Every structure is written in structure tokens, then in C-alpha cells.
A and B are shown apart, each in its own frame.
Chain A
Amino acid sequence: MLCRTANELFWMARHIERAENTARLLDVTYRTSLLPYAPHTAGLSWAEPWSVPLITSGLATTYYERHPQITAESVLRYMILDSTNGSSIYCCLRAARESARSVRGAITSEMYEDLNSAWLEMRGYDYARIEVGGVSDFLDWVKMRSHLFRGVTFGTMLRDEAYHFIRLGTHIERADNTARILDTKYHILLPSVTDVGGAVDYYQWLSLLQSVSGFESYRKIYSDTITSLRVAELLVLRDDMPRSLHSCMNFIHETLERLCDGGSRELERQAGELHARLHYGRTDEIIDTGLHEYLMDFLERISALGEEVSRVFLVPTY
């Protein structure tokens, strides 16, 4: 397969996944902001729920260049519709569709048509329409489009290299996102340690779990109160939870073994090492390290892995 094609497929998958994750992040923010306990201090702070999506995505600085303050509407506009914000849902869907268009021979026509119609629909949205229809409804629509695309991919595509690069992109992006979302909670917790175990704490963990579709699984597995330790276990170490770091690394590791086929030892080693840390990791290890430090370390490693993938397959040096 052409390197350029592999690169476009990888980023097509990442952009769709990113659109979904932005929708999830906004959804959890929206829910948190509705809690009576939510402190409404204006300005960039972990205590202000609407600053969370900006900080998590690393977009606070660029946001402030164009907006004087943080309000629900301006953050939503920025994260959903802003054509200058490369991580906005609008830009992600556009980029995914452009990638698909430039490699449409490598994907099935159903996949292209699905992405193209998502993009055509997205272009029909403006803020007024989103507000009238309900922000949550719109965010659900984004999630559904992502689910649909994954389903079409799963159901129509030949299990060839192209499929594996798509899968790789999806799971690298997802792992990165789950780590970031989990880290927001660590920060939110910081301001008032006394609240730990209180009502605010409970609702914050609840919305975090909901944002990664993990609340129902949590109930099934633990059927007990929500504690940070169990949430960390669920979203980091359990491999039967599809958005957990361990589960993502299972996919990444397996896919890279297939793609490398003995050809790139260093890439296989990096993936294998990161996978082993999760596969054989224990919760007390995370606690000893500190959740934040643990997640930062993971983010660094997954980003290095992404760069290595790029160097080996996507942007060749020969």
C-alpha cells in the first residue's frame, strides 16, 4: 500500500475518533455544568466546567487569543463549529472526509458515502440549529455518526493493510483521549480535597464514566459505590472495557505485530513494552506512582509510538 494512502487512512480514523471524543468531552462538560454543585467561577480554571474541554485538548491558549472569556456558548461554538480550530468537530469531520476522498480507492464505497453524508449534514449545522435541537442531541448525532462509520468499516472492509491502519489510528487516538479524560478528573479533584467522597465527587465520577460509556459497565462489574480506584482500574487496566487503555493497547499491539511482520523491531518493541505495562499492571502501582504521573507517562509513550508508526510506515525517509 502507498505510504500516503496509509497516512490518510490513519488520520481519517483518528479524526473521526477525535470528533467523537470531542463530542464526549463536551457532553460530560455539559452534564457537569448542570450540577448544582458546579462552581461557576469565570476564567480558566479546573473549577470552571467549560474550561475543561479546552485544557484537556490543549487549546486554552489559542482559545483566549480569540475569545475574551469562557462561556458555555463560546466554548461550544469553538469546539463544535470553529473552522480555525483543527480539533473542532467541524474540522475533524472535514479532515476525515477529505482524507477519505483522497484515498477512496482504498476504502469501500459505503465507507466513503457514509463519511461524505456525515460531512454534508455537518455543513448544514449552525449554532442556532444546534441550540434549538438541543446540544445533547447534536453531540449524540456526532457519536452516532462515529459509531456508524466504525460499523460500516467493520462490516464492509476487506481485512487488508488499509483496515489495519484504520484500526491503528482509531485506537491510538482513543487511548490518548481516555488518558486525557481521566486526567481531567484528577485536576478537578485538586481544588477541594475535602470534597472527595462527597456528592460533588460522586457526580463528577459519574459524568466522567458516562462520557466514556462506562457507567453501565461499572455497575455491572462492581455493583457498588463509585471510587476513584475502581474507575482507574476500569479505564486503565481492564481489557474487557472497550475504551480502556489496556483494551486500546491490545488492539494497537496486535495490529502492529501484523503490520510489522518482523520488519521493524523497534516499533514492535515499543508497542510490546507499553502493552505489557498495562497487561501486567496493578492498581496499587498506579496509586504509588500517582494517577496524574501515571497518565502523563502513558501519554508521552503513546505519542512516541505514534511518531514511530509515522516514521516507519506513513512518511518514509527513503
Chain B
Amino acid sequence: MRKPVGIIYGVNDVPPVGVTLLSGLQHVGIISIILVFPLLVAREAGLSRDRTLDVLSLSMLVLGIGTILQALPRGAVGAHFLCPPVFTAAYLSPSMLAVKTGGLSLVLGMTAFGGLVEVALSRALHRLRPYFPSEISGFVVLMIGVAVGSLGLRNVLALGTAEPASGLHLTVATITVGTMVGLNVWTQGAPRLFCALIGMGIGYVVAAGAGIVTAADLAAVQAAPPLRVPGVAHLGWSFDVGSAIPFVVAALATPIRTMGDITICQKMNDAEWVRPNMRSLSGGVLANGLTNIGAGVLGTVGVSTYTSSVGLSGATRVTSRLVAYAIGGTFFLLAFLPKLSAFLVSMPRPVVGAALLFSATFIFVNGLQIITSRMLDARRVFAIGLSFMVGIALDLYPAFFAGVPPAFQPLVSSSLVLGTLSALLLNLLFRLGTRRTQRLLVDREQSDPTKIEEFMEAQGAAWGARRDVIDRAKFNLTQSVETIVEGYALQGALEIEASFDEFNLDLRVSYAGAPLELPDRRPSNEEIIESEEGQRRLAGFLLRRYADRVQATHKAGRSTILFHFDH
């Protein structure tokens, strides 16, 4: 793993203490936006004000534990990146159902059960790899960007509330996002590192000045005690088979986001990134499952990794693991400081929306980059394009999906989940008829390099291969055929066989004739100029250098060259 040039403090770097703590605070600010989910469930359960404060405090503890688990530097648990969790809509919907049928104890028992399902899934993740190619990972990241951006817009425009956004709301949102973007683009040092925190602070002050934050909004802050040890009186656990399906669906949907977020973390921290690292993904899903078991045990709702936080890391270029520890520590403190927690939860909607929009932009572009790093044939274009339409339909026409049976509501809980399911199913369907090995016969009398290149192009797109690797393969095929036809082949056609899996591209060129020379020393300029033999040796040298591994064999008058490319 090589740190990209743009990242200031990479995952293994040690930033100064001030940078670490303030970066942690910045993340806590953006994570606290979503603390409203456990509050919604607590209200639905009819908990008293004190018990609701307990839920809020214990939720902070769960977020702290989850953040640290994901960032652990080694071992089977955790993605090993700064990738904090947050409460997720995927679990909110079944939790709201469960609280109605079995109270809070059923929510907690079923949340822990959902965590167990995620843990089990994490152990089988590597087997699912063929069904999760890179462009689908990129699509998931793209859809996460869309989902976060959509949530941001809902907050900025105050959609779904009694009063639509006024000019004042839009002004506050514009000032907030303008501050964040302006500091990020045109400043250096501390203003850039803490652009989101500064933006949220300025947004909060402007919102208060404009009367958007009222005394009523701050009543919960005033009522909360400054210091309090959270109680556990609300804890209790039960299990209901009838509630299992929606929680299983939530447990299957959550890893989609987790894997997408971790993929961004991997790409952000590695200049040489080419594909998702399955070990890190498995560890990340395992950590999320364990956090959800903890959420159930400690009395709150289910979590998933938080894309906005990942986007914030990318935008500020600080991805250090130590920031995760700072976030964890801050949440542990906040668990005992209810007044501060309540203040964070009361952040005005235009500021919340602006922060979400800010981080969504980074995620969206990362998704596009991952998708376009691969060659795409019609099958892959349809899998991604149609799934994007299916996913976005949920955001555009939510009323149409309102009639979905409650048990399957988690499947339509977000455009991300619906779009990803569509992409996975279409990918599965389009795998039919895609062959991993293809052959081409080249007539030595009429060898056409364009046909050879078209063969490799078509295969690369069908396999979803990397463009740079296919370009190298094209050169090795055309140069070897050219050289063999000119100086080595005696009779008959040349046979080309190309085989691919996600990690390897192997080309086999066989023909009747003498073996092609593949020297590991470049012929001198004089040798190249003076004879065609020198030119052929140069060809062999280039072929050897361009492939990651070469092998030439000769048996019973027939020669075979194997070019191997790492993918």
C-alpha cells in the first residue's frame, strides 16, 4: 500500500495531537447528525426523558466502540481504516416495526440477532467475490454518494416537514457548504483540514442569528444535565421469529454499504489500488456485525459504516487511524455529557444538509472513478445503467414503493440497497454465456493486427478487465504475431488463447515453427540496425519486459509462448 500524493495524513501516519483531536471532533459533528434514529425508536417505545437520555448516551458508546473496532491495525476484526459507523435506515425500518409489536426489548434482541447474521455473512464473503466485480463495487460507491446527496438535499430543502425551506434556510445552507468548499479549495493547513468543522460552526451561528435555531429547539439542551452516568433500566431482550425476516434483510443490506465505504477507504489510502481487498472487507463486515451485537446488548438500534465520514476524510485528506481513536474517545466522553450530546443532535437542518452534500460529492466521484477503471461491454453497461435507474426511481417516486410488504421494506429502504440488488442480480444473469477462456486463429498469410486488437478489446470488456492490462496484452499479441510471422512460423495458423480471472490474464500463442527468442538483455543499437535478427531480438526483449511473466517452449515442432499479466 503506497500513500497517494494528495493524502496529508494516511491511515498509518501519526498527525500532531491537535490535528488528531480536532479531526476527531469534526467527524463527531458530522456523525451526530444521524443520532436522531435511536431517538425516534425511543420515542416510539414511549420511554421517559431520562430513559431516552440513557439511549442517547449508550448510542454514543456503541459508536465509539464501532469506530475503534473498524480501525484496529491488525487481526481479523475491522477494515483497518478510519471508517466510523452511524445508525442506519436499513435497521430503522424493522426497528420501528418491532417496537410496535414487541416493544424496545424486541428491537434490542433482534438488532443483536441482525449483528449475528452479519458476522456469519462476513465469514463467507470471500466466496461471493465473483458476484461482486469491481465495477459493481464502484456502482455501490456511486449510489452511496447519490443516497447521501439525496439526504443532504432533503435536509436543505426541508422536504417531508410541515414547512418547506425558506430563502433563509437556503442562505444558511449555501453559506455552510460555501465555507466548507471554499476553505477546502483555496486554503492550506488548518483551515483546509478543519473546513467541515468550521463550516458547521459558521452555519450554526448564522442559523441562530437568522432565527432558524429557536429557544424551543434548544429546550432539550437546557433540560439535559451536564454530567450523568447512563442508566440501563431500559435494557431487556426478546426474540420473535416473525420479526426475523426484516432484520435478516437489514443484515444483508447493511454489508453492501459497509463494503462500499471500505472500498473507498482502501482506494483513498493506496495509490496502487486496483480492486477491493476482500480480507479488509470481511474484517469490516465482521466489525460492523459485532458492533450491531453490541448495539443490541447496550440498548440502541443497528449501525452501518458512515459514508459522510469517509467522504470527510477524503475531502480533508486526513485518514489516520489515530483520528478513529480520537472519535472513539470523544464519543465515550459524550456518553457522560448529555448536554453536549443534545446540543449536537439539535444541529439545524440546513447545516446538516450542507455537511451531507459536501461529503457526498467526494463519494460520488470516487464511484465514477472505480466504475471507469474497468472496460465495460454491453452486459456491464446494462447492469450498471439499468440498476442506476431502478435505484434512483425510489428517490424520485417513493410513493410507488410505499405498498411493499413491511417484511421487505428494508429492501426499498434506500436507493442504494435497491440499486445494488438490481446490479447484483443483473450481473448474475449476464454471467451466463461469458466464457473465461477464448481462442482466436490467425492465418499467417493474412494476419491482421486490427483483428487481434479487436479480439482483445472485446474480451477485456466482456471480462470487465483493467484498460491498462488489456493494452499491454494487445501489444504483446500483435508484436509476437508480427515477429513470428516474419521470422519464425513455418506453416499453418497461429493459435491464440486468452484466459482471465480477476487476478490473472494469461495469453498463449502457439504455432508450428522455431521458438521465439525472449532475451532478458536488450540488443545494442548496432545489433538492431545491422540485421533483422537484432530487430527480432528487440521484439523478444520488449515482449519479456511488458509481460509480468513469459515462458517459451518447443515440443514436436510446435512452439508455445505464454504471457502472464497480473491483474
Is this pair of chains taken from one and the same complex? no
Mark A residues whose CB is within 8 Å of B: none
* B interface residues, Cβ below 8 angstroms from A: none
